[in-house]
Structure formats: C-alpha cells, structure tokens
Amino acid sequence: MSNATIARLRGSFAHWCTIALDLFFPPRCVGCRQAGSWLCDSCAQAVEPTSERICERCGRQQAERTACCPRCLHEPDGPIRFARAATQHQGPIRGGIHHLKYGRVTALAPLLARYLVAALERPPWPLLMRYVDGVTPVPLHDLRRRERGYNQAELLAQAFCEQAGLPFQPNWIRRQRMTHSQVGLNAQERKANVADAFRAEPLVQGRTVLLVDDVYTTGATLTACATAAMDAGATAVFALTLSAAQKFDDDPSGVDLDRAFAL
Ligand SMILES: [Zn+2]
Ligand SMILES: [Zn+2]
C-alpha cells in the first residue's frame, strides 16, 4: 500500500472519529470549558488584539512601538513587505488554535477567522487591501494534509475570505518537500529547515499576495513562502496571522517560545 493511500485512509478514519466525538462529546468552549459552543460569547469578547507596542514592519512585539526592530534592521530586504498578527497568543485563542490544529475541531475556523477580519480594520490594512489580488494559506505538504484531513491555515484563510469577501487562492503556494516540525528548533534552525521547501505557481507573477497562517513564531515559514512568491514574480507579499507570541524579543533564540507554545 502506498504512503499516499495510507495517509488517505488515516485522514478518512480521523474524519469519522471527529463526527463520532462530536456526537458523544458536545462542544465545550476552548476558553472556559463551558458546554454549548466551541467559543462562548464572553470568551470571544475577551480576546485581546495585538498591542500597539510592535515593530511597524514585521508586527513583532517590542518594548515600545518602533518603525524598525533589530531583526528587521538586519534583514532590510526581507520578502514580506508588511506583517501583522490579529491577536495575542493567549486564552481562548491559544486554546482555539490548539483544538483546530490538533483536536480536529474544524468548526473553530470560522469562529477564529472573525479576528482576522477584525484586524483588517486597523490601519494600514484598509489601504493595503486595495492592492491584494489573492489570499493564500501557508501550505502543508500533500501527504501531511491527507493524514490530518485538512490544513488549519487553509481553513482559516478560506473562512476569512468568505467573511471578508476576498479572493481565496489555496494553491498559489505549494510545499514541495516535507519539513521537520519546527517545534524545538531555534530561529536559525527553523530558517534552514524551511529553506526551498515552497514553490509558488507562475500565476502569482505581477500579483500582490496576502499570506495567512495560524501562529507567527519566528516568521521563518512565512518568510520562506514569501520568498517563493517573490521568486515567481509576485509584486509584493503581506502576511496576516491569527496570533503571535507576546514577548518575542525577550527570547531571540525562539527555544523558550516553543515551550510557551507547547500545549
Ligand atoms: Zn468561554
Ligand atoms: Zn521588525
């Protein structure tokens, strides 16, 4: 039996398990565990948008707002023109992403995508969005996607596009080789792990791309995707993630950050 067939069978088995689990274990809020929905009204309202103390270019948290953080200063020609996280990685968002990614609670995607839509109200997104030709998620390798049954970034991006009325382009960027999990790797190792892992369709030539992912960790994966898009002739790449770590620059190695992300 081929790897692809095994992955497909695993994916389909997981799909039926999800349906069975929903029947026997009805939804509980990912924030407070109250029964009735995956995200109750009070937890939904308690979600905190990213603070204003960020680097204006990459969106990473800083001690105070700055036009250019040390990391952006060292990489002035990075392929991502502008990046932002919609919310802080805590509380119901942290729980929600975990359940969406590992708990197969795909019903969370439209609930969480609302925060991506809300982020577009903050300047300069209203101006930038005039130029965006398509929204594309950070892809999973086909084999991993079949195994999990879905790509959480794709579900988020799709729900985001449906809610905001944006053009969804799920195939503009593809993962052309499998990569190891980024968990436990420092920033340099993450960068090496995803180098050349992505390829963009020729269709992106002359287009402005908005990349969507669930969590901004070191930005290595997003940067690799953006590099692929720019190599294929994209005009510009912006990035929007659902959340990001709170105190990124306290931990330049990224190692403790992973521990903070271990759920
Ligand atoms: Zn709740
Ligand atoms: Zn920066």
Q: What are phi and psi of 245, to 5 degrees?
A: -65, 155
**Burial of 77 from C-beta contacts in 10 A (0-12 / 13-18 / 19+):** exposed
Q: How far apart are CA 118 and CA 128, in angstroms?
A: 15
> What separation in Å is there between the alpha carbon of 23 and the centre of ligand 2?
45
> What separation in Å is there between the alpha carbon of 74 and the centre of ligand 2?
9
Q: Which CATH class is domain 3-261?
A: alpha beta
> What separation in Å is there between the alpha carbon of 45 and the centre of ligand 1?
9
> What pLDDT, in 10s, does the model give residues 184-206?
777 778 777 887 889 999 999 99
Ligand nearest to the CA of residue 71, numbered in listed order: 2
Ligand nearest to the CA of residue 80, numbered in listed order: 2
Report the phi/psi class of residue 261: left, alpha or beta, with left for phi > 0 and alpha for psi in -120 to 50: alpha
> What pLDDT, in 10s, does the model give residues 215-224?
998 888 999 9
Instruction: State the pLDDT at residue 15.
Output: 65
Instruction: State the pLDDT at residue 251.
Output: 40
Ion ligand 2: residues, Cβ under 5 Å? 55, 57-58, 69, 72
Mean pLDDT of 49-76: 90
47-74: burial string, b at 16+ Cβ within 10 Å, e else: beebeeebbbbbbbbbeeebeebebbee
Most confident of 109-123, 140-154, 188-202: 109-123
Mean pLDDT of 221-236: 96
Mean pLDDT of 61-79: 89
Which residues share a beta bridge with 85?
241
Is the pLDDT assigned to residue 240 strictly greater than 60? yes
> What separation in Å is there between the alpha carbon of 60 and the centre of ligand 1?
27
Residue of higher predicted confidence among 189 and 227:
227
Mean pLDDT of 68-73: 89
Instruction: State the pLDDT at residue 17.
Output: 66
Give the predicted TM-score (pTM) of the model. Answer: 0.83
CB atoms within 10 A of CB 99: 23
Instruction: State the pLDDT at residue 54.
Output: 92
Q: What are phi and psi of 192, to 5 degrees?
A: -65, -35
Q: Among residues 251, 195, 223, 248, which one has the least CA distance to residue 59?
A: 248
> What separation in Å is there between the alpha carbon of 187 and the centre of ligand 2?
14
> What separation in Å is there between the alpha carbon of 28 and the centre of ligand 1?
8
Mean pLDDT of 134-155: 92
> What separation in Å is there between the alpha carbon of 62 and the centre of ligand 1?
29
> What separation in Å is there between the alpha carbon of 29 and the centre of ligand 1?
5
> What separation in Å is there between the alpha carbon of 133 and the centre of ligand 2?
24
Tokens of 91: 């509380």
Instruction: State the pLDDT at residue 159.
Output: 98
> What pLDDT, in 10s, does the model give residues 28-62?
999 999 999 999 999 999 999 998 999 999 998 89
Q: How far apart are CA 134 and CA 208, in angstroms?
A: 7
Q: What are phi and psi of 87, to 5 degrees?
A: -140, 170
137-158: burial string, b at 16+ Cβ within 10 Å, e else: bbbbbeeebbbbbbbbbbbbbb
Residue 34: its H or E element: none
